[in-house]
Structure 1
Amino acid sequence: MADTFHNMVNGKGEVVVAPANTAADSAQTEAFQGTGTLSNRGTAETDIKDKQLPSIESLLFVNKEEVCQLDDRLRVMDTAKFSWSAVCRLIITLDDGREGVGTGWLCGPGTVITAGHCVFDSETRKWHKSIVVIPGKDERREPYGRFTVTTEHFWSVNGWIQEGNQEYDYGAIILNSTIGNNTGYFGFRYDPNDTINQKPILNTGYPSDKNGTQWFMKGIVDDVQARKVYYKLDTMGGNSGGPVCLGETNQVICIHAYGGCAANGSNSGTRIDRDVYTNVLKWKEAGVSPQAESGQDMVKV
């Protein structure tokens, strides 16, 4: 029987019932490098005047990400190059008008995956108002342009929308663009525990303490649970929604979401298990064309 917590919900109040998943013990999609063609929407450096913004976590009741002992983060110097180009800075406007920043990653031509709390506030039970998506941003340079997306194109799942359960803290943003064909996009995968536990990983994103610049760190998986992956990769508020990839595969195994290092634990992300994989695959398909977002299997609630 399908896990109803994985039923997909969008900002229009439509629900897609999660199908029973009888897939194999593992599955994966391959990363796509993209054409690298810079967008006509790209903005000249002198036109960008982004203000310093707080992290989305600091505006919500969310366990903030943390640096684990020494800060070993490294700056990405060429964000126009794949796979850094497929990582997106998110400028998020909440329902009350406040702004914060987060991270997302392209999983297909027009779909950005992120943390659930980057699209929906589980405390106020309100969707965020809008999100500006900026692939490969680096300070005043936006090589692939920016895309403003409103509530009706946000997705998450019942486990986050209805329950605020951190194990279901993931979501998606459907763009009215296929910029992922230019930037490239990540693959994603689910695997048995022993395939990923204690294995090398890489996380990247846009921490709020490094305004508008992309940073990454490599490490290993500390622990794997049914719906969470734990690691001591240095992050800060704003990293939420960023990809955690297995080794050098450019295939995402979890979506970074929470801190924990300050309490002698680990930072963590929402694991891409079989059900998450199925939903991300559907969202990827919805971003292939603007018309693909709505389907016959949706019901209004």
Structure 2
Amino acid sequence: MTRDPHTAASNQPEELSAIAAEQPLFRSPSEGVAGTPVPPGSDGLENVEGYRRPEYDALSAAVWTAPTAQLPDIGEASFGPAHPVAETVHLLDDRVQVTNTAIYPWRVHASLLITAADNSRWIGTAWFIGQHTLATAGHVVYIKNSGVPGRDGWVKSIQVMPGRNGTALPFGSVTSTNFRSVLGWTDSGDENYDYGAVVIPTELGSTTGWFGFGAWPDADLLKSVGNISGYPGDKPAGTQWYDGRGISSVNPLKVYYDIDTAGGQSGSAVYRMVNGGRYGIAVHAYGGATVNSGTRITRPVHDNLLAWTA
């Protein structure tokens, strides 16, 4: 008998149990107690100074060339440095740096410094979904099939730096050794189940605020504008970068989008605007020749994320 790939997995002695089916489908966002929210753009994109809307002159735009990252993306730990699913910029780099990272929603995104079981160090991104919980990719917290002795399995620790802006840490940092994922990733390494969580030993999310998350039908997602902000390794260390664009396609377990990202943004929120609130619809994890993709927040994913905030 096979087990449900969404069955929760944890590196802690006692795993969190699944929540009851009658729980609400959507987790609501919170702006936190400090500062005020940034009003969303009327077109579903964030208002970021200097951001170039998708209607640009392709002939006059520069083609992007990736510089050398200062630390490797955590995706390389499982897939190798030349893995075909690396997050990508597609020809024209639309990303813009976010510099006011101490305000909502930018402080919800956290830069991660990850120490694997073999003490190698990597970078990634996560986003608050509750007072002490951040959602991220499964391969951020659990390395799979690296081929390096002593590296596979749960990472040793993750330093979480919300709203980081280079060397500035407006909310300090907190180190976690408490992680979650699901058997579809930890047992099988299946990219369709590549999601997880970082549980921190403080309630820092009460200050930063968090995003909601939920499951929507295909038709709703295909009409949505996706937003991604995170910490790419091809930019100056610890700087946050944003891009947004319409959702390209979906399948039952993945969401696809032509939103520019780079290694280091594994685990970023793919989120949409709903009545002025920000709701995650996928966890960014993979790239491709023409679109990047994330693990779709379906009902089982929603239920696990909600349980992990308890």
TM (norm. structure 2) is: 0.81
Whole-angstrom CA distance in 1 between matches of 2:28 and 2:15: 28
| Paired residue total | 264
Match of 1:240 among 266, 269, 285: 266
Whole-angstrom CA distance in 1 between matches of 2:18 and 2:28: 23
| Residue number in structure 1 paired with 2:144 | 122
Match of 1:83 among 102, 105, 108: 105
Kept in 2: contact 1:90–1:104 (CA 8 A): yes
| Residue number in structure 2 paired with 1:12 | 12
| Residue number in structure 2 paired with 1:158 | 183
Taking structure 1 as reference, are residues 180 and 15 closer, same or farther at Cα in structure 2, changes over 3 Å only? closer
Q: Which runs of 4+ in 1 moved over 2 A?
A: 12-24
Whole-angstrom CA distance in 2 between matches of 1:129 and 1:279: 22
5+ residue gaps in structure 1? 38-50, 286-301
Residue 19 of structure 1: how far off its partner (Å): 6.0
Taking structure 1 as reference, are residues 3 and 272 closer, same or farther at Cα in structure 2, changes over 3 Å only? farther
Q: Counterpart of 1:257 in structure 2: which amino acid?
A: A
Kept in 2: contact 1:86–1:186 (CA 8 A): yes
By percentage of residues, which structure has more helix?
1
| Residue number in structure 2 paired with 1:97 | 119
5+ residue gaps in structure 2? 36-68, 147-151
Q: Does 1:34 align with 2:32?
A: yes
Question: For 1:200-279, what aligned pairs fall within 5 Å after superposition?
Answer: 200-210=225-235, 211-247=237-273, 249-260=277-288, 263=289, 265-279=290-304
Residue 58 of structure 1: how far off its partner (Å): 2.6
Whole-angstrom CA distance in 1 between matches of 2:17 and 2:189: 18
Residue 107 of structure 1: how far off its partner (Å): 0.2
Residue 166 of structure 1: how far off its partner (Å): 0.4
Residue 156 of structure 1: how far off its partner (Å): 0.3
Could you tell which deviates more after superposition, 78-87 or 193-202? 193-202
Whole-angstrom CA distance in 1 between matches of 2:200 and 2:156: 15
Q: Does 1:54 align with 2:54?
A: no
Residue 60 of structure 1: how far off its partner (Å): 2.6
| Residue number in structure 2 paired with 1:280 | 305
Q: Residue 190 of structure 1: SS of its match in structure 2?
A: coil
| Residue number in structure 2 paired with 1:144 | 171
Whole-angstrom CA distance in 2 between matches of 1:59 and 1:8: 22
Kept in 1: contact 2:102–2:170 (CA 8 A): yes
Q: Counterpart of 1:155 in structure 2: which amino acid?
A: R
Encode CA deviations 1:134-190: one digit per residue, 9 max, x unaligned: 00000010010101112xx11100000100000100001111100111111111111
| Residue number in structure 2 paired with 1:68 | 90
Taking structure 1 as reference, are residues 14 and 162 closer, same or farther at Cα in structure 2, changes over 3 Å only? farther
Identity of matched residues, % = 39
Encode CA deviations 1:58-77: one digit per residue, 9 max, x unaligned: 33315210001100001111
Taking structure 1 as reference, are residues 251 and 3 closer, same or farther at Cα in structure 2, changes over 3 Å only? farther
Encode CA deviations 1:36-61: one digit per residue, 9 max, x unaligned: 27xxxxxxxxxxxxx93221123331
| Residue number in structure 2 paired with 1:176 | 201
Residue 17 of structure 1: how far off its partner (Å): 5.8
Residue 31 of structure 1: how far off its partner (Å): 1.2
Q: Residue 251 of structure 1: SS of its match in structure 2?
A: strand
Q: Residue 60 of structure 1: SS of its match in structure 2?
A: helix
Q: Residue 4 of structure 1: SS of its match in structure 2?
A: coil
